[in-house]
Structure 1
Amino acid sequence: MTGSGHRIEDAGQREEALTTGLAEFLAGCPPLDALSEEELRRAARTATVERYRAGEVILDAFDASSGQLFVVREGRVNIWAHADRLSELPDETAGPRSLFGYTAALMGEAVGPLAAALGEAVVVRLDADLVARAFSTRRGAEFLTRRVSASTRQRAGIPLYTVVADLIVNPPTILEATDSLRAAAQRMSEMGLGYCAVRLSPASYGLVTDATMRDAVAAGVAIDRPLADVADRHPSTVRPDTSAAEALIRLLESDADLVLVTDAAGTLRGALGPRDFVVSSTTAGASLHEQIRRADSVADLQSRYRRVPAMLSDLLSRGLEPSRVITVHSAIVDTVIRRALDLVQRRFDDLDPDVFTWLSLGSNGRREAVLSSDIDAAASFTDGMSQADIARYLPLFSEVAAVLQAAGLRHDSHGTGPTNPTFARTHAEWAAAGREWLTHPTQDDAIIMTCMLVDARPIHGDLGLTEVATVFSGLRRHPDTMRLLLRTAAPRRGVMRRSALPRRRDRELDLKKQVLLPIVNIARWAALTVGDPALPTRERLGAAAGSEMLSTEDAATLRDLFEILQGIRLRHQVRQLDAHEPPTDTVQLAALSTPDRTLVLEGARDIAAIQRRMANMASFVLPELSPGPAPAAARQAADGPRRAARGSRPAARGSPRAAGGSRESATGTGRSPDRAP
């Protein structure tokens, strides 16, 4: 029920102004701005404008449902979203143009909130039926999704702004670069810490850890050697005001023991390891990652990874953004792969693990792996190794693949992995193959391989810039390849036509192929046009925002859509696992909530519009890339770069025209399945 506010009649000029410009005022209130002018005028004609005194209850939707929703016109309103916390501070304070009461109005149930004026306030009451359409638009669905996420965080009692400074317990232990290893060992023992920082300059620090000490002793380094000779000179660092979640992700991605905390002046404030993050409610899962990192057997590793889906579900329920949850998952997958390589290597003690670099491809290469993602990978070997030398490593890679599969990580059954000789080459061979793909992009699977290798990220071995990455850094100088990649990102006929999406609620939708992959392709191409090396899709869109080919507004739209759609995808897969079903990317429209279904369908329309603008703009901005008839390779890549996985090693050792020109995949069917984002 509503409170006893005083309805504003025609009591002076100021009061009249509050009612006469009401339609225009509502047009500035998201998501009501999605309504037409006529709909806004109709809502304004039946609206009631009321003034409330300080502390007066405006709405108590815990007591009874309401057919109205409310907009703050002037002043501020305190809102309690949970019936068991009415004696506590309000969950939020809403200012002008803020909406409340929409949940109870749309659901027709007494689900809250309680709203009371903070000081004097003017509030507009609207007939919910007249503005309900606003919540079935994409903007309305986004509004509801974000509000539900915020409410979830509040319900869980999670501090929204837990920062690194809150986690520092001990002051830093700092030694000079000229101090010896012996001095560091003594100091670390005295302080009971597993590290010491090494002052390299007034505002620069290196890092020595227990692991550093063990490695130095094993290598025969004298105990009196100065720390400058053994310290990590480029440790991961964060600022004290960095969120705990961001700092943990930095730690996981670097696979480091510690991250240093330095302030804006470069002063060292402390150091944090995985165990320090366990106390932060925003970084749940840190302890599980540490257990995976230290698993002492294959069985232990597999058992611990099987707990990861539940951890992801917990992170989502706690309100961590889906993109952050997915990044944490990708970092954990990296750790599982590294640990699997270490553990399996023990059974192949005649093989040197330092002669190859493991490259993660596809979604995990972009740090976007979800529960349905395949483990796509390649291996790049030290130059000089023969085909026979490399073949000795294939059983090792096969056993690693089996370990990952048994743990619950999907192994790519179509040959996109180092068990396939096509994806196990020397550095020089990868570089030669890359140059061949750039020179002849229309031949065989060149454009498909280019898409995969542009997304490659090393996670084991040499973590620097790989040979193939160096080749592709000059991709913009190859207009034929850029033209084909443009057709992948913005095909002339448009893979995102809304008419191609299912209309009936009982139809299935492929979230990956039909709505996410087009964004991935756009982001990859846009980042290449500006020469940015970023891999994650949202970072690529941010880097290309405001460029000639991608406006700031379009980039922001795609970033928001990618975040929301990935969240829909991940929540769908968590629900499948809860029901003891394998995670997939297909979902029935009827299984989606109304806001999610609206976001998917309206998002598809927005993506298609952006694709059309990019294709049209290219003919003016980049006339050399003006699209003509698209060859088959570009059409295949637009549907998702298909597996370029052949069953035999290329005869030319680097040419994509492999095995006598055979187009057969590793399965021998001649088909190349769609790639997963």
Structure 2
Amino acid sequence: MKNSIAERVRDFLKIYPPFDLLNAKKLLDIAKEVVIIYLEKGDVLFKEGANFNNHFYMVRDGAISLTNANKNDQEIVSISDTGDIFGVRPLVAQENYKLTASAHEESIVYGIPIGSFQQAAENNSKVYKYLITAFATNAYDAYTTKETQQIFIDYLPNNSQDIANFQTANYTKKPITCSTSSSLKNAALKMSKNKIGYIIVIDDTKKPVGIITNSDIKNKIATGLFPIDTAVTHIMTSPVITSKKDLTVADAQLQMIKHNVAHLCITKDGTVNSRLVGVLTNHDILVSLGNNPSAILKEIIRAKRTKKLRSIRLKANTLLKNYLEQNIPISHIITVISKINDAITVRAIEIALPKMPTPPPVKFSWLATGSQGRKEQLLFTDQDNALVFEDVPKAQYKETQAYFLELSKHITKSLNKIGFEYCEADMMASNEAWCKSISEWKNQFKDWILKPDEKAVLLSSIFFDYNLVYGSQKLIDQLTNTIYNTLENSVSFNKLLAQDAVKSPSPLGFFKQFLVEKNGDQKDLFNIKNRGLMPLIDAARVLALSKQIKGINNTFERYEKLAEIEPNNKELYESCSYAFKALTKFKTKQGLRHNTSGKFIDLETLTKEEKLKLKRCFKPIDEIQKTLILRFDLKTLPI
């Protein structure tokens, strides 16, 4: 007799990871033992410090708050929605609960039996890899850093070199092979034709049985020990050292050192008893280690030409893709890629300076604005930059400005060749409107702040997020102090910024459907930048300015700082920080997948899980906009 309840449970589980990695029969076996739990708002499922039980959990409907006790009250560190799993500590560590789980709203929860799950997932490395990486890098949980140091310490990187070691090793997927009946002469000709220094000997079932290298030919043939027509089986090194497909760089290095070999045969199950699927060489390891931040930054410093800088920046895209595939925390990815982008810009400036007829007449500063100014530029985007130079006598101003405009044209041209498109609105240092003396820049910002209008608000959203990339820090300190001193004397400017920050409504319509573009080339596509990221970016900016937060331009760092100085709103700010990082990661993955900026998304290409995750990220947008409306009394402003 069919168990219709178990089948319905199975049909729900199979939509979400890691259950989507199990076959239907094993999933049904789990579903038959699932405990269905109904919780009213406020009901507690398990408490912090309680002994672990025999289940972990998945939200069927509703939402579950995970809270951490502090000195005063319960601090919400994450909220699990439909399809999310939680309470996995008994599964991975068999330790008492470190958090309290309670119903954030009326909810239905599935209790997944750990014993049945482990039996069903036995020998399924993908399931456990998912659990480890998903929970070790879940940035939504404010306590993640502390937790991962205890539970997942062997899986998380601590520095650039560790990250390189943490990556999956890239191996040759179509290795050059010969059969056991081949002669050495034929094998050598094959090696020569393919310009490689080794060949794998395989049997009739494609299993690797030996390897021949250039060293074998030199030591055994050139010395006369064997004739050139000898069978490969007479001189091959056997048995070969094998490994599985998903080994890390660190694991590969250890195996090569342990066995004193320079080649690993990658087989279907990792043993000599299965089919050969690839070869990993010592050279492959060196290439993997070379594609890390430290090596890339060294290459940038040594680069002599713009063409070389472009190839290096493309390496950074590969690094970015690897980081995302390895579930490296997005906050770390943003930091690394931002440093690379700034280093690329610095080197472009250094290459441009000798092209000028004379050294710079006065000190100057090159500013990145927009996304690079916020240190959030992951993919190639258009340029936003500005230049500030020291004050000069009025009679020398035009000549000095002309010098820096010419320099800026060289720099922006180089950045364009590297892959950063020219700004369509010409908001670049090569435009005299954005290439000024420090006094002119001070006057410009004062004018925007004290005489605000729609254009001033638009420009402020770009130029208030600046970051010194090259040149005089002193000039920028002067500019920053002027901005914040002027803000203290303006009541209406922050209100206008706040009004601008709430002009974009929630990305979801009345019936929780995505709001897509209605016309044009992007019709029916979802604009994740304008509808998802920009409301969070704009809100963080105006709140940071109103709180006189200096030196922090990055959006998620702004929210983290706000959470620190406004503990009453800590939960909201931390959820905004999480949402921004999650949306940034999603946009970047889409951009890499489709070779675009990731700005516009075809919702039909998304899975149900991806859509649910997106919707969860949109929740803080509505809350932060309500906060701005109340805080800046926006109802009194004309619309």
What TM bracket, shorter-length normalisation? Answer: 0.5 to 0.7
2-side partners of 1:313 and 1:166: how far apart?
17
Q: Is the 8 Å Cα contact of residues 516 and 562 (structure 1) preserved in structure 2? A: yes
Structure 1 residue 439 displacement after superposition = 1.4
Instruction: Give the secondary-structure state (helix, strand or coil) at the position aligned to 2:632.
Output: helix
Q: Report the secondary structure of 1:410's partner residue.
A: coil
> CA contact under 8 A between 2:506 and 2:621: conserved in structure 1?
no
2:553 matches 1:535: yes
Distance, in Å, in 1 between the alignment partners of 2:160 and 2:590 is 32
How far 1:301 sits from its partner (Å)?
1.9
Corresponding residue to 2:460 among 444, 450, 472 = 450
Partner Cα separation in structure 1 for residue 459 and residue 378 of structure 2: 22
CA shift digits 1:472-504 (9 cap, x unpaired): 11214311101101112234x736563583379
Aligned residue identity for 2:537:
V
Deviation at 1:36, TM superposition (A): 4.6
Distance 1:382 1:332, change over 3 A: same
C-alpha distance 550-355 of structure 1, shift in aligned 2 (>3 A) = farther
Which of 448, 461, 478 aligns to 1:467? It is 478
How many angstroms apart in 1 are the aligned matches of 2:616 and 2:86? 25
Tell me whether 1:160 sits opposite 2:156 in the alignment: yes
CA–CA distance in structure 1, aligned partners of residues 113 and 524 of structure 2: 33
Show the 5 A alignment for 1:361-380.
361-380=369-388
Give CA-to-partner distance per residue, 1:141-161, whole Å, 9 cap, x none: x989949999xx9xx997415
From the superposition, tell whether residues 626 and 545 of structure 1 become closer, same or farther in structure 2 (CA, over 3 Å). Answer: farther
- The equivalent residue for 2:620 is 606
CA separation in 1, counterparts of 2:489 and 2:38? Answer: 56
Q: Cα RMSD between the aligned structures?
A: 4.8
> How far off is 1:611 after superposition?
0.7
SS at match of 2:366: strand
Which position in structure 1 is the counterpart of 2:323?
315
Where does residue 602 of structure 2 map in the other structure? 588
Change (3 A) 1:585 1:372: farther
Identical-residue share of aligned pairs (%): 19
Does the residue aligned with 1:446 lie in a helix, a strand or coil? helix
For the structure 1 residues 535 and 382, does the alpha-carbon distance in structure 2 shift closer, same or farther, using more than 3 Å as the test? same
Q: Which moved more, 1:405-414 or 1:495-504?
A: 495-504
Q: Which residue, out of 420, 445, 449, partners 1:438?
A: 449
State whether structure 2 residue 498 is matched by structure 1 residue 498: no
TM-score for both structures, normalised by structure 1:
0.54
Corresponding residue for 1:616? Answer: 630
Other structure's SS at 2:615 match: helix
Question: Which of 515, 534, 539 does residue 532 from structure 2 map onto?
Answer: 515
Contact 1:358 1:460 in 2 (8 A): yes
Check 1:345–1:163 CA distance in 2 against 1; reply closer, same or farther (3 A cut): closer
Shift of 1:288: 1.3
Contact residue 549 and residue 617 of structure 1 kept, 8 A? no
Give the match for residue 643 of structure 1: none
Residue matched to 1:628: 637
The one-letter amino acid of 2:317's match is: P
Describe the superposition over 1:335-363 as per-residue Cα deviations: whole angstroms up to 9, x where unpaired.
11111111122221424176321011011
Map Cα deviations across residues 583-620 of structure 1 (whole Å, 9 max, x no partner).
3411111223333222223333431233123312433x
- Once residues 365 and 555 of structure 1 are traced to their aligned partners in structure 2, the CA distance between those partners, rounded to angstroms, is 21
Aligned match for 2:496, one of 484, 498, 506: 484
In 2, distance between residues paired with 1:363 and 1:284? 23
Superposition pairs of residues 19-418 of structure 1, within 5 angstroms = 24=43, 26=45, 32=58, 35-36=61-62, 76-78=90-92, 93=94, 112=124, 146=138, 159-162=155-158, 284-352=292-360, 355-384=363-392, 385-418=396-429
Mapped partners of 1:382, 1:148: distance in 2:
44
Cα deviation, residue 381, structure 1? 1.1
**Take 2:479 and 2:491, find their aligned partners in 1: how far apart are those partners?**
18
Sort the Cα spacing of 1:347 and 1:547 in 2 relative to 1 into closer, same or farther, 3 A: closer
Distance 1:348 1:378 in 2: 18
Q: Contact 1:292 / 1:336 at 8 angstroms: preserved in 2?
A: yes
Identify if the C-alpha distance between structure 1 residues 371 and 482 changes in structure 2 by more than 3 Å, giving closer, same or farther: same
Partner of 1:380: helix, strand, or coil? strand
* In structure 2, distance between residues paired with 1:70 and 1:537: 28
SS at match of 1:473: helix
Aligned to 1:358, the other structure's residue is in SS state strand
Structure 1 residues 288, 479: closer, same or farther in 2, change over 3 A?
A: same
3-state SS of the aligned residue for 1:374?
Answer: coil
Q: Is the 8 A contact 1:379 1:418 kept in 2?
A: yes
Distance 1:69 1:550 in 2: 27
Aligned equivalents of 1:93, 1:477: Cα separation in 2: 58
- What is the CA-CA distance between 1:555 and the residue it aligns to? 0.3
Deviations 1:96-135 (A, max 9, x none): 5797689x99xx999947999xxxxxxxxxxxxxxxxxxx
What is the CA–CA distance in structure 2 between the aligned matches of 1:101 and 1:353, rounded to whole Å?
A: 73
Structure 1 residue 519, shift from structure 2 partner: 0.3
Deviation at 1:571, TM superposition (A): 1.0
Instruction: Identify if the C-alpha distance between structure 1 residues 462 and 36 changes in structure 2 by more than 3 Å, giving closer, same or farther.
Output: closer
Cα 1:457–1:76, aligned 2, differ >3 Å: closer, same or farther? Answer: closer
CA distance in 1, matches of 2:399, 2:483: 28
User: Could you say what secondary structure the match of 2:367 adopts?
Assistant: strand
SS of residue in 2 equivalent to 1:482: helix
Judge which range, 478-487 or 457-466, deviates more. 457-466
For 1:588, give the aligned amino acid.
D
Decide whether aligned partners of structure 1 residues 99 and 148 sit closer, same or farther in structure 2, where only a CA change above 3 A counts: farther
Relative to structure 1, is the Cα distance of residues 566 and 165 closer, same or farther in structure 2, using a 3 angstrom cutoff?
Answer: closer
State the partner residue of 2:255: none
- AA aligned to 1:414 is A
Q: Offset at 1:426? A: 0.3
Supply the AA of the counterpart residue of 2:301: R
Structure 2: any 5+ residue segments left out of the alignment? 1-25, 48-54, 65-82, 102-109, 129-133, 164-285
Secondary structure of residue in 2 paired with 1:417 = coil
Residues 487 and 627 of structure 1 are in contact (CA less than 8 Å); yes or no, is this contact kept in structure 2? no
Offset, 1:448: 2.3
Corresponding residue of 1:233: none
Superposed displacement of residue 437, structure 1: 1.5
Greater relative CO, 1 or 2 (CA 8 Å, sep 6+): 1
1:496–1:608: 8 Å Cα contact kept in structure 2?
A: no
CA–CA distance in structure 2, aligned partners of residues 596 and 109 of structure 1 = 23
- From 537, 542, 555, the equivalent of 2:573 is 555
